[in-house]
Structure 1
Amino acid sequence: MAGACALVTGLTAPAHAGATAPSVYGPAYVMDAQSGDVLLNHEGAERVPVASLTKTMTAYVVLKTAKPTDLVQIRSRDVAYAEDGGGTTADLRPGDRIPVRELMYGLMLPSGADAAHALARTYGPGVDGFVAKMNATARELGMNDTHYVNADGLPMPGGDGYSTARDQAVLAANALRVPLIKRVAGTRWHSLDADDQHRSYEWRNTNRLLGTPGAIGLKTGFTRAAGYCLAFAGESDGRVLVGVLLDESLSSRRFSTAEALLSWAADRRAA
């Protein structure tokens, strides 16, 4: 699926002249997803932890090979991993068999570390094998300042992974070319009714930018080391604009800043 999508790499186009950009409070990057034109680059090459923005790469790597109808068996260690690591969860229950299509909602909306672990374990095969695929995919996309250590962005005893605002914008542009990722990332809440394979679930999106006209996702993140992070996107006059905010100190400000940046970038594209 994702492998059939055109890649956005090598983004070196300069920002266009125009009105002053809205203020940002950490590394930030905004670009046109189709052309690769860079509209804002503030410390976009600084290597920092990116918390749960990591899960966008997890979704992207899974969907390179998995079928949406594939069933993933939830195991006790998936649940224990999220709980022991202090991560956000999709409240998955051991024994349930959930289609990949549905598990994407558990991964992206409540930012389930349990869902990330289950997917990585299944499609590595094994978590270590899956993380190796994540890093190989990062190289393929030209994300040369990115290193993943797990599938969820939680802190690790041996050291956190890292990326940059620029690299995460490249990932966002490519991930949104995968129809299922785009649909899931733009969903405000999703329910999964019980059947003989699993019990019922209901997940709400942590992305407060959704509901803003034109907004289509993409992913929130937070750890103490990473601060508040947001990969965001919006559509304007048929064009997709993507951006990334990293290491914000205020949770709410990342959403208001992203909204202002999307409006500003749309005006620049129209000029």
Structure 2
Amino acid sequence: MKTQSSQRKQAYRRRVLAGSIIGILLVVIVGLGFAQHVSLLGGAPVSVEKPEASVQLADDVELAWPATASAAIGSTSSGIIARSASDEVSQPTASMAKVIAALAILKKRPIQSGQTGEKYVLTAHDVAHYTQDMSAGGSVVPVYEGMEVTQLEALQLMLMVSANNMADTLIDKTFGSQEAYASYAQTMLRNMGLTKTVVADASGMSPQTVSTPSELVRIGIAALASPVIARIVGQAEVDIPGIGEVRNTNKLLGSNGVVGIKTGTTGEAGSCLMFAAKYTTAENQPVTIVGVVMGEDDTEALYDDSGLLLAVTQQAYGLKQRQEKL
């Protein structure tokens, strides 16, 4: 017969075992909830967002193409949806070329969200870039010898305020020379299946840097797949140590769901815009529209035509604005 002492010990073991099982279940349950929402210690939440909806152009849908410029429209899930009649002709990209540069830089020297990357100490060579680019009439930010800038800050200055000198500096720091960059970027583009885009420089000041709206839409889609680039192009303003507050040049940013991407203007290219906007379908499925307009006569026409093309696209597919912070 079992003694009272042994019975008490067995009862105690059963209570301990039951408590352990309950504890493990609680940990699992709390852990799942923790992962699906957000870490109290600052960890990234696990994405539970629905997959992006496919968007295809129906025969009865007519989009609002610019009268004198070329354009294309697409989505991150479906690629190119439609293009204007003049889309096949390669033309100067202006500063939309900086999106290509950002993709190449982050492919060569990747950084993750929340990281700042390498810290660069600027030299007389970087000051010379500033002087030369300013003399050429390009967009620049002032720099000085001994100034420190991180890779992230340089990318922000290149993409948000379209600083040509910062594009040149980043290329030097990443690839060693403009020629090495052009070769690397061209190979990257060929691997993406883009055959009509030619890279002659990083800033897009060269009229030999050319592309088509549809290929630039695909480049924009690739840019949004980079969390670092997507966050930068969606920022309205940022404070850069040594420079101060700088503002995004994209005047559509923040209106009608627009979350980026890049402006561009030169005498040869005219006024250009690569834009993206986030929406949801009637079934509450997310959709990200990406469009490009090239060769407008002036910035007023550029924003009018780009905004109209986006609005008609949104209306044609019954899309609603989606509130999302990058």
Superposed, 1:156-175 pairs within 5 Å as: 160-175=208-223
User: Counterpart in 2 of 1:105?
Assistant: 156
User: Counterpart in 1 of 2:99?
Assistant: 56
Describe the superposition over 1:51-90 as per-residue Cα deviations: whole angstroms up to 9, x where unpaired.
Answer: 1110011111111132332113322222123123221012
1:252 aligns with 2:300: yes
**Structure 2: unaligned runs, 5 residues or longer:** 1-54, 281-285, 320-326
Deviation beyond 6 Å, 4+ runs, structure 1:
none
| C-alpha contact (below 8 Å) 2:129/2:165 kept by paired residues | yes
Shift of 1:204: 1.3
Superposed, 1:214-229 pairs within 5 Å as: 214-229=257-272
**What is the rounded CA distance, in whole Å, between the counterparts of 1:218 and 1:14 in structure 2?**
22
**What is the rounded CA distance, in whole Å, between the counterparts of 1:81 and 1:73 in structure 2?**
19
Pairwise CA RMSD of aligned residues?
1.9
User: Counterpart in 2 of 1:122?
Assistant: 173
**What is the rounded CA distance, in whole Å, between the counterparts of 2:152 and 2:279 in structure 1?**
27
Superposed, 1:12-161 pairs within 5 Å as: 15-24=57-66, 25-66=68-109, 67=111, 68-74=116-122, 75-155=126-206, 160-161=208-209
SS in 2 for 1:22: coil
| C-alpha contact (below 8 Å) 1:29/1:166 kept by paired residues | yes
TM-score, normalization by structure 1: 0.86
| C-alpha contact (below 8 Å) 2:129/2:168 kept by paired residues | yes
Instruction: Output the amino acid matched with 1:181.
Output: I
**What is the rounded CA distance, in whole Å, between the counterparts of 1:34 and 1:19 in structure 2?**
19
Percent identical: 22
- The count of residues paired between Structure 1 and Structure 2 equals 251
**What is the rounded CA distance, in whole Å, between the counterparts of 1:136 and 1:81 in structure 2?**
28
Shift of 1:202: 2.2
Tell which has more relative contact order, 1 or 2 (C-alpha 8 A, sep 6+): 1
Report which of the two has the higher share of helix.
Answer: 2
Shift of 1:14: 7.1
TM-score, normalization by structure 2: 0.72
Instruction: Output the amino acid matched with 1:44.
Output: D
User: Counterpart in 2 of 1:6?
Assistant: none
Instruction: Output the amino acid matched with 1:178.
Output: S
| C-alpha contact (below 8 Å) 1:16/1:268 kept by paired residues | no
**What is the rounded CA distance, in whole Å, between the counterparts of 1:118 and 1:205 in structure 2?**
20
Shift of 1:118: 0.4
**Structure 1: unaligned runs, 5 residues or longer:** 1-12, 194-198
**What is the rounded CA distance, in whole Å, between the counterparts of 2:60 and 2:74 in structure 1?**
15
| C-alpha contact (below 8 Å) 1:120/1:131 kept by paired residues | no
User: Counterpart in 2 of 1:8?
Assistant: none
> Which structure has the bigger radius of gyration?
2
Describe the superposition over 1:204-234 as per-residue Cα deviations: whole angstroms up to 9, x where unpaired.
Answer: 1111001203101111111111000000110
